[in-house]
Each structure stands twice: as structure tokens, then as C-alpha cells.
Structure 1
Amino acid sequence: MFTPTTRTVAWLCLILAITSTLSACATYHDLPLDEGHGAGSVAQLGAPTAAMSLPVLATHRFDPSDGLDATEVAMLAVANSPSLRLKRDELGIARAQAFAAGLLPDPQLAVSTDIPRQSAVGLSNAYSLGLSEDISALLTRSSRKAAARSQAEQVNLDLLWEEWQTVAQARLLFDQVLNLRAQHDALDAEQQALAQVDRAITAALQAGNLTYDGASVGLNAVADVRTRLADNAIATHQADSELHLLLGLAADAPLQLSGTAYAPTPTAQQLQTALHHLPQRRPDLLALQAGYQSQQEKLRGAILAQFPALTLGFNSARDTSAVYTNGFSIGITLPLFDRNRGNIAIERATRQQLHDDYAARLQQTRSDLQRISSDLTTLDGQIIQLDTHAHQLDQARDAAGRAWLAGTLDWPTWLAIRGNALAADLQLLALKQERARQSIALEALLGNTDLINTSSVPRQATTR
């Protein structure tokens, strides 16, 4: 029967002591799933300014008691957007991976015993204790750590870029909701103005003083306004729903907006400065640079891993004749066939792909900036011309209304003048919304005008 010797017990106790001292025990905690209702009101949400990544958000006073302006909407979106919450979870995973990459491999302990099948003088139970360590893993540790750190930095910069895009989306939705409300007011005023014509046409048809052919102009005008109002309501529902989701609000939560739409007007000098420093400021470009650096380290690690894998160990043993021995062992992989050539080829090809991806992204960005800048110049000219034209048609509509009430103008002509004025007003609102969309997109591509005159290094992404 095997009886542990005093030396064996001492070894085991030492091993257990070292293991219990160095190992940290993780405990399990349950995390129930959320029901996904969203916040019931803006008051339930928070927007800590100190944690905001953009200076314009970090310096803005957040006070939802009088309604949310464009900047406060952007602050809430950055702090509470469900999609950004997922991005922050990805950052947590990347940081955990960076932590794991720096950990040393655990040594391997081997314990064995041999028990003689016969009892004889001088025989005893044999045992062997061995402790070994993978030395080759230490050679690639620095590359793994550097690659993981760059990967975590890439995820952080991707999160910062996503925050910038969320700010742009919040500003755009804010402008879209206000614009749709302005369209609704114009259409509602038109519907009320046409109500008296609608009543007159209905009375004339019932009295037989007007045929349906003659009434078609008036009936179509009324029906057209009603259709436009219905379309406007659907578009408003869509924009309002997207804004609620972006802010982390429940679909039926009240949302009061105040102030004017966001209208960035960077100067030509600011645009040129931002464009010149684009590779040093845009988080997505910096993220690609960090990803490329991570891949450089992965390729370096793969090249280091082509050297033979080495395992070094020490052991202590006693045979059945009670002879004690101490020794060491070396294990080495013979680099005859693999030599890690496959992984080296994969990492080198991946590096080339990231290299070309960065060049393509930068070229596409410069092309988009040039196109949007030209579009804004065209839109500004259109808005000036259409604003003058719409003002003239509004004056003609007011004059035609007075003439119709005085009986000096027939109602089909009056309806035609009103229809032209309404079309110009709605077209002007649509142009202004397109102009806002393009200008917000331009600012987002440049990296926000509020950052143009600050440090070229972006801040850390917002964390909660």
C-alpha cells in the first residue's frame, strides 16, 4: 500500500501553498436580462458633462427642465445610446484581452508514483515530481502585449468615432423633427385656409350650381393637402421614433425639444486646417493606424514563433531502490516542416490588406469632403434664390386671398396661386434640411469644428 513519505508531503504542501497564494479566485454573479423598455422620461437619464469626449458637449450646461436643445440632445445620445453601450462593451472585452496577453503562462506540474508489486528487502515506493515552463511563450510575450494594447486602442478610437457619428445623428434628427414640425404648420395652415373653399364647393355641388368637373381643382387641392399632412405625420413618427431610440427613451416617453436647429458654419480656413490634420485627428483613421500597428506586432510575433518551441523543466525523483535523483529536462520542437510559415503568410497578407484599407479610407474621405463642400456652395445659392422666390409667392398669395374675399378673383385662380406658394415654402424647407444634413455630415467627416483649434490628439471615448 502506498504511504507518502515526509518529503513527498512537504513538496505537496509547498505546491498547495504557492498555488493558493498566487491564484485569485473569481466568483460568479448572476446578471438578469433587461426587459428593454427604455427610460420612461428624460429625468431618468443622465448626461455627465465631465465624461463627455467632445469639448462642446463637456462645456455645455445640461438642463432639460426647459426642453432639450440640439446640444443637450447630443449629450443624451452619447451617454445613453444603446448602440454606444454595445461599443463600450467591446472596449471592455478588448481591455480584458490586453490584460490576458500580458499574463505569463502557468508552469506545469507533473506528479507520479510507482508501487512495487512485490515486497522485498530494500524496495520502496517510487515517486517523481517535475515542474516545467514553456520558454518559447516568453519570447513572443512582448509582441502579444503590444498587439493587444494597439488593438484596445483601436477599439477605443472606434468608439470615439462612433460617438462623433452619434452626435451628428442626434443633431440631424433634432433638425429633422423641427423641420417636419414646420412643414406640418404650413400644411395645417393651408388646410384651414382651404376649408372655406371646401365648404363652398360642397354647397355648390349639392345645390347643382357646380359640376364635378368644375369642382375638381378645388377638390384635388384639398385632397392633396390632406395627403401631404398624412405623409408628414408618418415621417414625423419615424424621426421621433429614431430619436427616442437614440436617446435610450421608451417609445411613449414625452420629449420636448426647444431652440433652433444646429447650423455649423466653419470658415474656409478651418476647413483647410482640419483637412490638413485629418490623419492625426479623425478617430476612425487613428483607429486604422492603431489596427495596423497591432498587425505589425502580430506579424513580428509570428516571425518570432518560427523558432523552435522550447520547454524547460526540473524534476526530483526516487526509484524503488530508494535512490534519490534531481534532474532537468529540455523539450524542443524540430523545425522541419511547419516552421510557422502558414501563420507568417497570413499575418503578412493581413497587414497588406490593412495598409490598403487605410489608404482607401483616406482617399474616400478627401473625395467626400470635396463633394460635400461643393454641394453646400450649390445649396446656399439655391436657398437664397428660392427664399426670394417663396417670399414673392407668399405676397402674391396674400394679395390673391384679399381679392378672392372681395369677389374680384375666382377661386380656381386663387387656389393655383396658393398651391404655388405652398410648393415653394415646402421646397425651401426641404432645401434647408438638406443643407443641414450636408453641413452636419461635413463637420462629422472633419472631426467637428469645435475640435479644429484644440489638440490634434482626440480624447478618450466616453465611459460609463
Structure 2
Amino acid sequence: MPLACVALLLVGGCAGYVPRPLPEAPQWSSDSESTSAPLTVDQVVSRALEFSPEVRRAERDVDIAKAKSYADGLLPDPTLNFSTDRPGAAGYVPAFMVELGYEVSALVDRPAKKRAANAFLDGKRLALEWTRWQVANQAYALYVQNVSLTSLEDETSQRTAHQRDVANRMDIALEHAYVTRDAAMLAQTRYRDSELALSALRQEHLKAMQELNTLLGIRPGTRLALAAPPEPTDIPQDVIAQALADLAKHRPDLLALRAGYDEQDERYRAALLGQFPKLDIGVTRGRDTSAIYTTGLSVSVTLPLFNGNRGNIAIEKATRESLYDDYVQRLDDAYSAVDGITAELGVLQGQLHTSRASEYALKTSLEKARHAFEQGNLALPAFADIESQYLAQRIASEKLEGQVLQQHVALCTLIGVSAIDDEPLPQARP
């Protein structure tokens, strides 16, 4: 009866199995496809934080860390041993021996293991926060890139159609000997260059849209309507200086590495405690074949003569040293990356300023040339050539602006500010 009660108690405390079959097809969210209103940058960032595969994987890592922390906090189970002997002679009764034991030494390193599990959980939570930082700024960058490419693709498509019309008119004029063959061939070359530029823009736009759809968890090929984003602003130097001063206390990936180092330090402590003898204590109750009952105490001690947990101590110590080096290197790389991006951003902004000035000058010349062409004071080949130069310069400026935006977003992510408004991101907490 006592054994039956124990068995029922053990079975009653067991977890049940719940099947969860894998899906047969991708499960895309369609709520964004049903809305006709253009998405704002805040809506895109919020959706990315909710549906991004990177964020969801980081959230699952936190769930696993919670489960591990719960598992490491459980007390070890006691051990119940039972044996019986059947006598072969008459006049004797069956003998039995029941022992209830417990590994007392498991309680010695339990606090260190528990602290290690808590540090591991803190590290995963901080890693999730770091992923959210990156995803938020990446969503903003892809949003602005898609809006810019949509506008540039539409403009390039219109100008390419116009240049195709110019090339056709030049071919007709060549047939009537109104223009030279060189002029007609130049118009055809300008048109083909515009076609190539338009094709490259469409490929770049398609790639950017696919990346945005993946980040938002939307079906591939979906064309999202996006509202005009706010213009990015330069990050004040005092914001960069203050962020660098607090980098080790603020950036989640550095805090996650610190939590990982704390975890390993506790595991090293647990390994040191594990070198002491393993102690098992048990209480016995038995009866021999003469019907004499006995009660006793059993003690089992493992003698640390050959192993002594020295191998695990060496492993945990070397791992701690490796994590120490990783943290120092990541901290050095963080400061170097901020300095490098700041310098490169200054160079790119100077190039962009020069490119925009050239674009403005060409736009002014194009407006004057269009007016002269409409008045009949400028030949069609000359007008088409100026228009082609303006298109090429505008594409070059947009590409430079895209590079500036990428560096701006990278800098914001490194120093922990929002790429949308340059406001400091929330302080990372474990």
C-alpha cells in the first residue's frame, strides 16, 4: 500500500504530452495586405518588432533560458531502494530492505548553479533587447530605402519613356536627313543607358521590398504602400560623446556578454565546489529471515583520488578566460566602429553635398534647355543629352544618400539611439 501511494503521487506530478504538428505550408500574416492606407514609419517599425523572425527567435531563446533557470532551481530528488530475499528453508520469513537516500552534496553547489542560470537568463533577455534595437533601425532603413526607390523608379521610368520617344523621333529625322547618324546613334545610346539604369533600379527595389517583407513577416511579393518618411537628421556630437561614455552600461550586447561572463564565473565556482567528496545519506529499514527488524543509517562518500572534478574545473576556467577576452574585444570593437563610421559618414555627407549641388545645377540647366527647346532655340539631341546627364546625376545622388542612410542607421544602432528621431533608446534591463 505505501508503495502504491508513492507511485500514485509520482504519476500525479508528471507533465502530460501535448502534440504540436508542424505546418504543411508557410503561414504568412495578411492583415497588412488588406489595408489600403499607406503604412507610416512607426507602423512599420512596430510590426517589425512584433513579427520579425530575428525577434521571434530571440524571444524563444528567452523562453528556453527561463526553462533552464527553472530546471536549475529544482532540488534533486531523493532515492528509494527496495530489495527482498526469499528463504529456501522452512520456518523462515521473507527478508526485505528499504532505503531512502538523498545526495546531500548536491546542495553545496546549487546556489552557484542557480546564480549561473539567472545570469544566463539575463543574458538572453539582453540579447533580445539588442535584437530589437537592430530590427527597429533596420526596419526604418528599409522603409526609407523603399520609399526612395519607388520615387526614383517612377521618375526614371518616365524619363526613359521620354528618351525612347526621342530616340524614335531621331530615327525618323535621320531617314529624312534632318540629323546626322552620330546624333541618332547618341540618342539610342542614351535610351539604352536609361533602360539599363531602370532595370538596375527595379532589381534593387525588388530586393529591398523582399527584405522588408521578410522583416515584417509578410508574404513574398507583396507590394506595400508606404507613406513619406521624415527626413533623417544629423546626430549631435554631444549625443555621440555621451553614448560612448555610457556604452558599456547601455548597449544590450555588451550587457549580454557581461551577463554571460557572470554566468560562467558562477559555473566555475560550482565546478570548484564539485571537487569535494560527493556525500549520500540514507535511512534504512529492514527485516531478516528470522523476522528481526532493523533500522539504520547509510553514508556513501566518493573519494576524490583520481578525478576530483579537475577536468571540469579546467574547462570552466578556460571558458571564463575566453569570455573575458570576447568582452574586451567587443568593447574595443564598439568604440572603433563608432569612430570609423563617424569618419566615413563625414566623407559620404561631403560627397552627397557635392553630388546634390551638381544635380541642382543640371536641373537648372535642364529647365533652361527645355524652355529653349520649346521655343525652337535648341536642337533635340542637345536637349536629350542634358536630360540624360541630369538623370544619371540624380541616380548617383540617391545612391549616395542611401549609403549615408545606412551609415547613419549603423551609427544609431551602435550608440543606442533611434534612427527615426535620434532619441536615446530605452535603457537595457536584464
Distance in 2, matches of 1:394 and 1:452, equals 35
Shift of 1:206: 4.5
SS state at 1:127 partner = strand
SS state at 1:42 partner = coil
Distance in 1, matches of 2:87 and 2:229, equals 92
Aligned to 1:30: 19
AA aligned to 1:140 is D
Asked if 1:79 is matched to 2:50, the reply is yes
| Alignment equivalent of 1:42, drawn from 21, 29, 32 | 32
Distance in 2, matches of 1:160 and 1:198, equals 55
In structure 2, do the counterparts of structure 1 residues 17 and 214 end up closer, same or farther at CA, with 3 Å as the change threshold? closer
Aligned to 1:116: 87
Q: Which runs of 4+ in 1 moved over 4 A?
A: 205-214, 449-455
Asked if 1:125 is matched to 2:84, the reply is no
Deviations 1:296-332 (A, max 9, x none): 0000000000111111111100000111111111111
AA aligned to 2:58 is K
* Contact 1:88/1:159 (8 A) holds in 2: yes
In structure 2, do the counterparts of structure 1 residues 175 and 452 end up closer, same or farther at CA, with 3 Å as the change threshold? closer
Asked if 1:458 is matched to 2:428, the reply is yes
Aligned to 1:221: 190
Distance in 1, matches of 2:77 and 2:8, equals 16
* Contact 1:387/1:428 (8 A) holds in 2: yes
| Alignment equivalent of 1:434, drawn from 373, 378, 403 | 403
Asked if 1:89 is matched to 2:80, the reply is no
Shift of 1:254: 4.7
The 5 Å alignment of 1:185-204 reads: 185-204=154-173
SS state at 1:130 partner = strand
Aligned to 2:294: 325
Aligned to 2:149: 180
SS state at 2:229 partner = coil
Distance in 2, matches of 1:350 and 1:138, equals 24
* Contact 1:173/1:243 (8 A) holds in 2: yes
Asked if 1:12 is matched to 2:3, the reply is yes
* Contact 1:273/1:452 (8 A) holds in 2: no
* Contact 1:389/1:424 (8 A) holds in 2: yes
| Alignment equivalent of 1:398, drawn from 347, 356, 367 | 367
The 5 Å alignment of 1:283-298 reads: 283-298=252-267
* Contact 1:393/1:421 (8 A) holds in 2: yes
Determine what percentage of the aligned residue pairs are the same residue.
33
Aligned to 2:284: 315
In structure 2, do the counterparts of structure 1 residues 359 and 262 end up closer, same or farther at CA, with 3 Å as the change threshold? farther
TM-score where L is the length of structure 2: 0.93
The 5 Å alignment of 1:321-360 reads: 321-360=290-329
Asked if 1:365 is matched to 2:334, the reply is yes
Shift of 1:420: 2.1
Aligned to 2:200: 231
Distance in 2, matches of 1:175 and 1:338, equals 61
Deviations 1:127-170 (A, max 9, x none): 11011111121111111111111001111111110111111110
Distance in 2, matches of 1:427 and 1:454, equals 33
SS state at 1:325 partner = strand
* Contact 1:133/1:313 (8 A) holds in 2: yes
Shift of 1:14: 5.5
Deviations 1:360-415 (A, max 9, x none): 11111101111111222223333333222211111111222233343433333323
Shift of 1:214: 4.3
* Contact 2:78/2:102 (8 A) holds in 1: yes
In structure 2, do the counterparts of structure 1 residues 363 and 105 end up closer, same or farther at CA, with 3 Å as the change threshold? same
Distance in 2, matches of 1:403 and 1:150, equals 73
Distance in 2, matches of 1:360 and 1:255, equals 41
SS state at 1:156 partner = helix
SS state at 1:109 partner = strand
Aligned to 1:421: 390
Unaligned runs of 5+ in 2: none
Shift of 1:452: 6.2
The alignment of Structure 1 onto Structure 2 pairs a total of residues equal to: 427
TM-score where L is the length of structure 1: 0.86
Aligned to 1:99: 70
Shift of 1:433: 1.4
* Contact 1:41/1:254 (8 A) holds in 2: no
Distance in 2, matches of 1:459 and 1:144, equals 22
Deviations 1:99-137 (A, max 9, x none): 000111111111111011122x3x101011011111121
Larger CA deviation: 215-224 vs 444-453: 444-453
Distance in 1, matches of 2:4 and 2:163, equals 95
Aligned to 2:111: 142
Shift of 1:458: 1.4
Shift of 1:261: 4.7
